[in-house]
Amino acid sequence: MAKLSKADVEHVAGLAKLDLTETEINKFLPQLSQILEHVGELGKVDTTDLAPTSQTTGLTNVFREDEVKPSSIDLDGALSGTDNTFNGYFKVEAILTERTDK
């Protein structure tokens, strides 16, 4: 497994919207590399005869009827985790960049 570079750490931090200091980057670089190496151990398992799966339950087709049911959360409940609200909305700092998705 290829070693992580400083740029990789910065990239991952960027995706997580984290601003890291130089010291933090230097601290996390070996830690992240270690994690990757550890997970990389899985690559040693012989999977030639195994079908790929995306889940472990073995379930398929778990569906819900198309019915509206009362929510366990009302407006006050929905907003209860923050003081930053306005007229029933969550209030956040002005979003200046448009999302790239959708």
Note the residues at the interface with another protein (CB under 8 A): 11, 14-17, 54-57, 59-69, 71-75, 78-79, 86-95, 97-102
Smallest gap from residue 76 Cβ to another protein (A): 10
Nearer to another protein, 1 or 75 (CB): 75
Smallest gap from residue 80 Cβ to another protein (A): 11
Distance CA 75, CA 91 (A): 14
Residue 4 burial (C-beta neighbours within 10 Å; 0-12, 13-18, 19+): buried
User: CA angle, 99 as apex, 95 and 100 as ends, to 5°?
Assistant: 155
Nearer to another protein, 48 or 57 (CB): 57
